[in-house]
Amino acid sequence: MTFITFIALLLIAAGIGYIIKHIFRVDLPMPRYLTGVFIVLVGVHFLIIQLEEDKEDESKWVWFTHSNFAHHITGENEYSVVFGESTIDLSETQLADSLPKVTISVVFGHAEVYLPDSIPYRIINNIAFGSTNGNGPNNSGLGDFSSESDNFNPNRNHLTIEADVAFGGLTWR
């Protein structure tokens, strides 16, 4: 989280506190409220820094922003979208000798995934209070769901896409 984002969130929280205090006539001690908000934002800041240090080179993380990724299989890859939005283009993916796997995690965000037309794939959705829709499987709520492309054969090489969606959305294109 950048310094500007930190200050913006602090000012937004102060404004919300001011509105609650004066419009709803709630006895909200502003110094204590702002101190609490400051401590929470510092904690979130340190959490984001720690998580970004832990990510691997092959991982693509999106935090509070929008990012576009064009994917080419280079082993096992992971895309994570947390409080953000991402476009992941798998349409140019080529199959190697091994079974490639792509993991997409969406938490309180949205991802748009472009599926390949020319290669077989299997999609495994793990959903917790989220949804997937579009040209791929359309699922929502809770549960594990799977679907395959029209040219899928489990005995032949294929792309496996595992999508974990929690309180977010994923659109297949």
| Interval 127-140: pLDDT, tens | 888 888 876 666 77
Tell me, yes or no, whether 100 and 132 share the same domain.
Answer: yes
Tell me, yes or no, whether 7 and 90 share the same domain.
Answer: no
Cα–Cα distance measured from residue 125 to residue 103, given in angstroms and rounded to the nearest whole number:
10
Angle between helices 3-23 and 30-54 (to 10 degrees): 150
Q: Show the domain range for 86.
A: 59-172
Q: How confident is the model at residue 99 (pLDDT cuts 50, 70, 90)?
A: low
Per-residue confidence (pLDDT) for residue 159, from 0 to 100: 85
Amino acid at 22: H
**The pTM is what?**
0.61
Instruction: Show which of 14, 36, 54 is a domain's final residue.
Output: 54
Amino acid at 159: L
What is the CB neighbour count within 10 angstroms for residue 143? Answer: 10
Tell me, yes or no, whether 72 and 147 share the same domain.
Answer: yes
Percent of the chain residues topping a pLDDT of 90: 1
**Number of domains into which the chain is organized:** 2
Tell me, yes or no, whether 77 and 150 share the same domain.
Answer: yes
Average pLDDT over the chain, rounded to whole?
A: 78
